[in-house]
Every structure is written in structure tokens, then in C-alpha cells.
Structure 1
């Protein structure tokens, strides 16, 4: 179900951003960076096991 997958990815991104903000990390992301991240996750090039 593509709609469900999209919702899960969006929810995961929001939870990650909220966690970082609560942990005191400032989040500065451009629209281009966010789109690239979503594409990498969707394509399977990036998983939770990758480290930045």
C-alpha cells in the first residue's frame, strides 16, 4: 500500500526530528536535503543502520 508506506516514512521523519530537538540538537535542513534524504530512504540506499 503506497499511501501507508508514505505515512510511515513521514511519521518516522517527524519522530526523528522531534527526538533530536528534545535532545538539544538543532535541526537545519534545506528542502533539497530533505528531498534527497526521503529519496535515499525510499530507494533503499539508506537505512537505520547507516551512520552520518
Structure 2
């Protein structure tokens, strides 16, 4: 396995900071795929480099 320098990994991670994603607000542990719940409301989450 080729090891990647930590600085290269950090640049890739930092490039994704601020990315947004829409997550359906579905109660319970049911399916959360948008094609299964097309009318479900969505929450917008922003990636901060560690968590959504």
C-alpha cells in the first residue's frame, strides 16, 4: 500500500470544507433515500472538516 503524505491528505480534506448536503427528515430508522421519500422535508448540513 502506498502511503500518502499527511500534507496531501490535509489539502484534500480542507478542499471539502463548506460542502453542503441535503438530508431527508424521516422519522425513525426507516429508509432515508430521496427517491423513497421524494416529498419529505430536507435539512441542509455543512461539512466542517470533521462532521456534517
Q: Same fold (TM over 0.5)?
A: no
Q: Which has the higher contact order (CA 8 A, sep 6+)?
A: 2
**Richer in helix (by share):** 1
**Richer in strand (by share):** 2
Which is greater in Rg?
Answer: 2
**TM-score, L = length of structure 2:** 0.31
